[in-house]
Amino acid sequence: MSKPLDYENLNENVKKCQYAVRGELYLRASELQKEGKKIIFTNVGNPHALGQKPLTFPRQVIALCQAPFLLDDPNVGLIFPADAIARAKQFLAMTSGGLGAYSDSRGIPGVRKEVAEFIERRDGYPSDPELIFLTDGASKGVMQILNSVIRGPSDGILVPVPQYPLYSASIQLLGGSLVPYFLEETANWGLDINDLRQSVAQARFKGITVRAMVIINPGNPTGQCLSVANLKQIIQFCHQENLVLLGDEVYQQNIYQDERPFISARKVLLDMGPPISKELQLVSFHTVSKGYWGECGQRGGYFEMTNIPPKAVEEIYKVASISLSPNVPGQIFMGLMVNPPKPGDISYDQYVRESKGILESLRRRAHMMTDGFNSCRNVVCAMYSFPQIRLPPRAIEAANKLGKAPDVLYCLRLLEATGISTVPGSDIELDYHGDEDATDPGEKIVNPPWYVVGRVFTDKFINPKSLSDAMGKAWRLGEGMAVRELENNVFIF
C-alpha cells in the first residue's frame, strides 16, 4: 500500500519545482566531493565559503550579543572596542530577552527603524518602519510576497530571463504561472517595453492574469544596473497594467562599472510624483548575504512595502506570524549593515578599510574573470561572469544523444575535468550560457590554475584540435600540473 510521503503521492507542485543552483550539477559536485575530489563551488554566491573574511565590527557586536555575560567582565574593554560594546548593549536592550527570545513577527522594532533611516538616506524620502518586515534572508521575503500574490495557476508573475531560479522555483511551488520577459544581451541586458507588452498579451491569450512583475536590479546573473529611464518605463508599465512591482535589489553594493550607478525603484517612483507615486504598489527586497558583507549563513534580510493598503499589510503580518519570528541574530546583522560605524567612531577606519578592500577585490576579480572568458575561443562573456559559449554541432549532437541540454553537458564535463561547479544557462531559462559567481572572493577563485584550466578545457571541448596551442600557452604560464591533470580527464567529441 502506498503511503502519504511516497514519491507518487507528493504534492505535484513540489515535484514540478526545480532549483538550478542546487540541481543536477550541484548534486554531482557533492558526490565528487565525497569521493575526495577538490570542488570549487561557483554555482551560488557564497563568499565566506571561498575565503572572504568577515568584517570585524559586526562579528564583534554579534559575539557580545550572543554571550552577554562578556559585557559584565571587567576586562571586556581590553578585547572589544567601546563602540562595539555600546552597540551590543543597544541591540540587547531592543530585545525581549536577548538573542534567544522571539521577536515581533515583523522583526525587532528598533532594527526596523534603523532600516527605515537607511532607506531615507539612500532615497531622500522617509520610510515607515511599520511597512518594513525583517526576514530570514531576502529569499524568505520574496516567498512571503509571492504567496500573497499568487491565488492559483491562472495567476502569472513576470520574471526576467535570464533570472535567479528562486523565482521560477517559488512560482512553481506556490502553483502560479511564470511569465517570462527577455532581456537583450546585445544591449547590455537591457529591457524593451514592447517585449514586456508582448509577454503580457501572450499570457492573457493563454488565460493567465498577470499580477506582478519582478525586476532584479542589479541583475542576477547578468550584473547590469537599470537606468533611470528604464525604471520609469517599468513603473509606468506596471501602473498601466495594474501590476505590483517586486524589486529584488540585493546586489546594490555589487557595482563593478562606473557608467551607471544603482538607483532604487522606490526612489524613481517617488521622484515621479503623484498620482503614480501614490498608486503603484511596490515591494523592495534587500539582504546581508551580498555586497561586501557576504553573510549568507546569517540569513538576514528585509522587504519594504510602498502603497500597500493597511488591510493587506495586516494579512501579510498574519502569515508572517505563523513562523513566530525571523531569526534574531540575522536581524542584528541587518541593523549593523544599514547602520555601520560612523566617522569618529573607534571602529570606523578599520570598517572602511575592510569594506573597501573587499569591494575593490570583487571588482578586480569580476573584470579578470570576464576578460579571461573573452580570451577563450567561441566564448562571449557579468558580476556573475555569465559567458555565452558557442558550442559546435558535434557537441550539441552528443548532448542530444544523452538526453541533456548542450550547456548542461558542457558544465558536467567541466565539473568532471576541473572540479569547477557552475550553473548552465538553460537552468535559468537561457540557452548556452554558464553562470560562474564572480562575487566569491577567495584565493580558490583567483588562482592562475583555475583560470588556465577553465580556458584550456573550453578550448579543448569546443575544438579539440586547438589543444596544442592552448596547452602551449598554459605551459608558458607555468601551470603544467593543472594542464597535465586536465589532459587526462577532458571529454573529447
The architecture in CATH of the region 7-51+356-476 reads: Alpha-Beta Complex (3.90)
Q: Give yes or no for residue 249 having a pLDDT over 60.
A: yes
Q: What sign does the CA torsion over 127, 132, 135, 138 have?
A: negative
**279: which residues sit within 8 A by CB, 6+ positions away?**
239, 307
**pLDDT tens-digit map of 171-204:** 999 999 999 998 877 677 778 888 899 999 999 9
**pLDDT tens-digit map of 400-431:** 888 888 878 888 888 887 788 877 776 555 44
Q: What is the pLDDT of residue 25?
A: 80
Instruction: Cite the residue boundaries of each domain of the chain with CATH code 3.40.640.10.
Output: 98-338
Query: Which three three-digit cell numbers place residue 12?
Result: 505535484
The architecture in CATH of the region 98-338 reads: 3-Layer(aba) Sandwich (3.40)
What is the rounded average pLDDT for all residues in the chain? 82
**pLDDT tens-digit map of 317-355:** 999 999 999 999 999 999 999 999 999 999 999 999 999
Instruction: Cite the residue boundaries of each domain of the chain with CATH code 3.90.1150.10.
Output: 7-51+356-476
pTM, full prediction:
0.81
**pLDDT tens-digit map of 159-176:** 998 777 888 889 999 999
Q: Give yes or no for residue 383 having a pLDDT over 80.
A: no
Query: Which three three-digit cell numbers place residue 19?
Result: 532549483
- C-beta of residue 182 within 8 angstroms of C-beta of residue 161: yes
Q: Specify the range with the lowest mean pLDDT, choosing from 46-50, 367-371, 468-472.
A: 468-472
